[in-house]
Every structure is written in C-alpha cells, then in structure tokens.
C-alpha cells in the first residue's frame, strides 16, 4: 500500500510539473509571437503616448502620423488639447458652441480604426451640423480614478469649457482600477505597487489543465447565472 501511495504521489507530481512546464512554454511562445507581430508592425506609440504627472498617461498634442494595432495600420491625429481628432486642429478653451466631452478607455479612443470611423468621430460629424462639438478625451487603459483626475485637471488647471461629460465605462475598468492604479498623497494617479502572485495564482496562469477546464466550463455554461 505504501509503494502504491508513493507511486500515485510521484505520478501526480510528475503530472503537475509537466502541466505547468508545458503551460509556461505555451505562454512564452504566445507572448513571443505577439511581441514579434508588434515589432514587425513597427509600433511607434512612444511618439505620442506619454506619461502625465497628474493623471498617469495621455497623448502628445498635435501629433500627426500613423500607428498600428497588431497588424492593422491606421492614421492618428491629436489636436492642441492632446485629444484624438480628425486633424491637428487648434481647439479653443472656450467656445459659444455646446460642447460634449467624451471620456473612456480603448473603445472611446478607437483602437485600430481611423478617427472618422470611431463612434466619437461619427458623432462629431453628425452633431457639427447642429452646432455642437464633440471632444474625445478617451485613452487606452483609463480607469475611474483617471477619469476623475483628468476631468478635474481639464476644468481647474486648463480652464477647458464644456457643457456635458459623457463617461463610457468598460468592464476592464474594474480590473484597471483594482490592480493598475492608485491615487497618491498629492492627489495624482500613479502605478499601483506590484502584487506578488500566490502559488495558486501562478499555477492558474501557467496550467494547461486549468485553461482546458475553464474553457470546457465556458462552453458548457456560456451564460452562468
């Protein structure tokens, strides 16, 4: 009986090691391929995606160029406020027009498409005929803390006038808010301290068995209550 238990324990250990090793190898290969695609696409985000001392990150004003989302190349322009726009136009801080400020994350920014094809660009074109202006303050990986601090900055430090704010929350905002950002003692948004994952979390991340089981459950129960 003792030998049988030892054999079972040893077999389970070998299975666990193989499971995690193969899962880790798979993740490394996937990450390498993603990095290779990004490099081959010639991503130049550093030219216009910049850090911000008050609300973490933003765009460089009056950028005129192209960028990539994976293999997709598209045009990218920012106006004088550093908002994505149809051109590098000068935007006055005050205006007689009714002005909407849109703010959100990657969907509001419009990853992967020209500005004219984003919902912000479509709305801007539609409402221009009615005398209203749409400003797109959305940037990838924004969260509620950044929404708050950016709008506060635009109002109190830049003196930007707008009549209404349209906030477009995303499911990923919950994770970004919990894991990625913190507000420091000075009231500015900074990176959250890195959390060392537990042994179970590391296994979840690298285990082929866990991934296969989770995928099977999602297929069997696609709409859990």
* Residue 144 CB neighbours (<10 A): 14
Average pLDDT over residues 102-125: 96
CA dihedral (107, 39, 189, 146) in degrees, to 10, reads -10
Instruction: Verify that 13 and 98 share a domain, yes or no.
Output: no
Higher pLDDT, 29 or 125: 125
Asked if the structure places residue 35 within a domain, the reply is: yes
Instruction: Verify that 107 and 173 share a domain, yes or no.
Output: yes
Average pLDDT over residues 104-126: 96
Asked if the structure places residue 225 within a domain, the reply is: no
Three-class secondary structure assignment of the chain: CHHHHHHHHHHHHHHHHHHHHHHHHHHHHHHHHHHHHHHHHCCCHHHCEEEECCEEEEECCCCEEEEEECCEEEEEEECCCCCECCCCCCCCCCCCCEEEEEECCHHHHCCCCCHHHCHHHHHHHHHHCCCEEEEECCCCCCCHHHHHHHHHHHHHHHCCCCCEEEECCCCHHHHHHHHHEEECCCCCEEECCCCCCCHHHHHHHHCHHHHHHHHHHHHHCCCCC
Instruction: Verify that 77 and 147 share a domain, yes or no.
Output: yes
- Predicted pLDDT of residue 45: 65
φ and ψ of 46, to 5 deg: -65, -20
Above 80 in pLDDT, residue 72? yes
Domain with 90 in it: 45-191
**Which CATH number do you get for residue 166?**
3.40.50
* Tens digits of residue pLDDT in 1-49: 577 777 777 676 776 667 667 667 666 666 566 555 545 444 456 789 9
Instruction: Verify that 13 and 108 share a domain, yes or no.
Output: no
- Predicted pLDDT of residue 88: 97
**Locus of tokens 């948004």:** 189
* Tens digits of residue pLDDT in 150-189: 999 999 999 999 999 999 998 899 999 999 999 999 999 9
- Predicted pLDDT of residue 41: 45
For the chain, first and last CA: distance in Å?
44
Instruction: Verify that 97 and 149 share a domain, yes or no.
Output: yes
Q: How many domains does the chain have?
A: 2
- Predicted pLDDT of residue 157: 96
How many residues can be counted in the chain?
A: 225
């Amino acid at each position: 009986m003792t030998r049988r238990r030892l054999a079972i324990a040893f077999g389970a250990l070998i299975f666990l090691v193989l499971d995690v090793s193969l899962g880790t190898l798979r993740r490394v290969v996937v990450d390498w391929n993603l990095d290779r695609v990004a490099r081959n696409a010639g991503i130049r985000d550093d030219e216009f995606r910049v850090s911000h001392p008050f609300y973490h990150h933003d765009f460089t004003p009056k950028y005129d160029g192209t960028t990539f989302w994976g293999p997709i190349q598209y045009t990218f322009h920012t106006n004088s406020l550093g908002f994505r726009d149809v051109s590098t136009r000068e935007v006055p801080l005050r205006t007689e027009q009714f002005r909407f400020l849109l703010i959100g994350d990657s969907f509001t920014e419009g990853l992967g498409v020209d500005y004219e094809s984003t919902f912000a660009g479509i709305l801007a074109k539609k409402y221009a005929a009615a005398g209203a202006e749409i400003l797109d303050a959305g940037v990838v990986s924004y969260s509620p803390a950044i929404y708050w601090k950016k709008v506060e900055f635009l109002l109190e430090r830049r003196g930007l006038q707008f009549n209404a704010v349209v906030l477009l929350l995303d499911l990923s905002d919950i994770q970004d808010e919990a894991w990625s950002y913190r507000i420091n003692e000075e009231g500015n948004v900074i990176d959250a301290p890195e959390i060392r994952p537990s042994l179970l979390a590391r296994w979840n991340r690298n285990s082929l068995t866990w991934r296969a089981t989770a995928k099977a459950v999602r297929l069997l129960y696609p709409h859990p209550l």
